[in-house]
Amino acid sequence: MRLLILGASGYVGSYLFKAFQKTELNVTGTTHSSPVQDLIKIDFKNITDVINLFDTTEFDVIINTIGHPSPDYCESYPDEAYGGNFTSIFNLISALKNKSNKPFLINLSTIYVYKDESQTNNESSLPCPINTYGYTKLLAELFISRYYEKSISIRLPMILGNPEHPNDFLMTLCKQLQKDEDLELDNSELRYPIDINDLYKVIMKIITTQPKGILNLANNSNGLTRYQMGVIIKENMRNSRGTLKDTGTYPDPQKWLRVALRPRDLKMISCRKDIADISFRTFRQMIEIKYRYYFERSYGQTFK
């Protein structure tokens, strides 16, 4: 089976690319601005290049991870957000829709399509994004569901667990906690992170069964603020010299360079137990198993 991973240079895409390379699938990946060996360099905002890609090669399954996932970046540069999150999908569907052998599309979306914090959102809950990031991702989802039936969009919470990627939040935190410095972290927004390997397992299942529509991927663990994540990491470190500072109230937007509105505590569940019924790794397990291993490999015996 021929698998194409769009955005294989990114945080999620690079993990999936490496993981699928270890399987029997024939895997191809794309990059945009980052020069990465073995990946096809392509700008998905350019319709001609996208059509050429699919004219020359056939694929059975496509995983789309292209996009701009930072809410603040999207709010500050709405044209870029629209281009990366929506135009890329518009061009992809335009290039695929007349093909006789249509590949199955797995599109990565976000929990930020929801607004309602008073209930736990399931796949039938009304989406209503409160920032440009959520809005452009919802637009992409709607376009896919309207014009490309062989597809599923997965709404995701915060994804952690790719310590080899330079943008990994937890490895950055581990490194900062080694230094004798104060580290201020938000203690007001609850997040429900999942390990990227759990996403990989679910995608494996989806490739086999090809279910369509929308899937909420969320574990049932307790929510954690970034400050609480820092506390758990610090508890596990042997010689952590850094001091964590709880920002207490909602951070001053200017100080934190935060421009996008964000929900404080947004919860999702899935009604599609046939696909998403896996035993999710907890945040503590991720730290104690995965990050311990990677951090010690890079920096020596720093975990307890």
Residues at the contact surface with ligand NAP, assessed by CB under 6 A = 7, 9-13, 31-34, 42-45, 65-67, 69, 84, 88, 108, 110, 137, 156, 158-159, 167
What is the Cα–Cα distance from 239 to 117, expressed in whole angstroms? 39
Residue placing its CB nearer to ligand NAP in the complex, 142 or 178: 142
CA distances from 177 to 64, 167, 170, 242 (A): 34, 16, 10, 4
What is the Cα–Cα distance from 126 to 164, expressed in whole angstroms? 36
The residues that bridge with 160 in the sheet, in sequence order, are 195
Residue placing its CB nearer to ligand NAP in the complex, 20 or 44: 44
Please count the other Cβ atoms lying within 10 Å of the Cβ belonging to residue 5: 30
What is the Cα–Cα distance from 217 to 215, expressed in whole angstroms? 6
- Least CB distance to ligand NAP at residue 28 (A): 14
Residue placing its CB nearer to ligand NAP in the complex, 29 or 242: 29
What is the Cα–Cα distance from 269 to 7, expressed in whole angstroms? 27
- Least CB distance to ligand NAP at residue 91 (A): 9
Residue placing its CB nearer to ligand NAP in the complex, 67 or 242: 67
- Least CB distance to ligand NAP at residue 89 (A): 10
What is the Cα–Cα distance from 172 to 162, expressed in whole angstroms? 12
- Least CB distance to ligand NAP at residue 239 (A): 29
Residue placing its CB nearer to ligand NAP in the complex, 5 or 174: 5
Torsions phi, psi for 235 (to 5 deg): -55, -30
What is the Cα–Cα distance from 85 to 136, expressed in whole angstroms? 6
- Least CB distance to ligand NAP at residue 265 (A): 16
- CA neighbours within 13 Å on the CB side: how many for 12? 25
- Least CB distance to ligand NAP at residue 250 (A): 21
CA distances from 228 to 76, 195, 246, 259 (A): 28, 17, 9, 23
Residue placing its CB nearer to ligand NAP in the complex, 156 or 215: 156
What is the Cα–Cα distance from 42 to 47, expressed in whole angstroms? 10
The residue number whose beta carbon is nearest to ligand NAP equals 10
- Least CB distance to ligand NAP at residue 6 (A): 7
Residue placing its CB nearer to ligand NAP in the complex, 69 or 103: 69
